[in-house]
Amino acid sequence: MRDLNKRLDLCSINTATLGYQQPIHETIEAVARAGFGAIAPWRRELEGESAKQVGRHIRDAGLFVSGYCRSSYIPADNETQFMAGIDDNRRAIDDAAELGARCFVMVVGGLPAGSKDLAAARQQVHDGMAILLEHASSRDVPLAIEPLHPMYAADRACINTLDQALELCDALDPSESGSVGLAVDLYHVWWDPQLEAQLTRAGKEKRLFGFHVCDWLVPTHDMLLDRGMMGDGVIDIPLIRNWIEQAGYAGSVEVEIFSRDDWWKRQPAEILATCAERLQSVC
């Protein structure tokens, strides 16, 4: 496993961690100043901005984009909406290309409103991903499916385990070309009894595109917005980082913390300093 001590260049800040308190250009400067090697911006931060210019600023600041967040949801209750979602994702993939993003993060969506047909939603995800994969490949943007914790199956993502995500990758890209793979987020997968085995499999299939770290707090007060800082919860982060790196992952260790009532109330500089300290001491 890589030693992160004095190696923040191996680490990335997902901008959600900073609570979107500053415009993207200030965030880029702050992340670079704090010594990190990469950044993972969100689409909401690029609204009204030129992706090309933001990408240039990121490179000029000495950073690269470890991942661009994130897809709009794929399942829809009619064809028009389905295709509108596809078009929206195509535009986001174009921006990911301008940013030079190492991957475009796919949070695939859950059940369409009023539906109980989970199998149909998953089929739509497959079909939508197949269309997007063609576009993404033409722009050289790898698609990283992020399996979400099953508690989000209804409203955020009906792809919920690494095994399920890898089956989808196999169906979409049997030749293992590197065009579709995984964003592995500790918050979503830490509990999975198959975690080590599936990470090993994903590495063999060259599908490890992203690794997001945070911690699981006990108790957790909000299932979306109460993620913990690394070291404050129950996830054995070095154990899992060792597994993913043994499996061949050599990309950024990306901090992604949604924390409405705690970290998002603090100054970006304090959040970044704490991330830096914890990455080097408990990850």
Which residues of this protein are in contact with Zn ion, per CB under 5 A? 185, 212, 256
Q: How far is the CB of 222 from Zn ion (least distance, A)?
A: 16
The nearer residue to Zn ion, 76 or 108, going by C-beta atoms, is: 108
Contact 229, 216 (CB under 8 A): no
Residues 9 and 181: their CA atoms lie apart, in Å, by: 23
The nearer residue to Zn ion, 63 or 157, going by C-beta atoms, is: 157
Residues 209 and 2: their CA atoms lie apart, in Å, by: 17
Q: How far is the CB of 34 from Zn ion (least distance, A)?
A: 20
Q: How far is the CB of 76 from Zn ion (least distance, A)?
A: 23
**Residue whose C-beta lies closest to Zn ion:** 185
What are residue 68's DSSP bridge partners?
104
Residues 66 and 44: their CA atoms lie apart, in Å, by: 17
The nearer residue to Zn ion, 185 or 192, going by C-beta atoms, is: 185
The nearer residue to Zn ion, 14 or 274, going by C-beta atoms, is: 14
What are the DSSP E strand ranges found in the chain?
11-14, 38-40, 64-65, 68-69, 104-106, 143-145, 180-185, 208-213, 253-255
Tokens of 246: 């043994």
Q: What is the DSSP pairing of strand 180-185 with strand 68-69?
A: unpaired
Q: How far is the CB of 53 from Zn ion (least distance, A)?
A: 26
The nearer residue to Zn ion, 46 or 184, going by C-beta atoms, is: 184
Alpha carbon 189 to chain centroid, angstroms: 13
Q: How far is the CB of 256 from Zn ion (least distance, A)?
A: 5
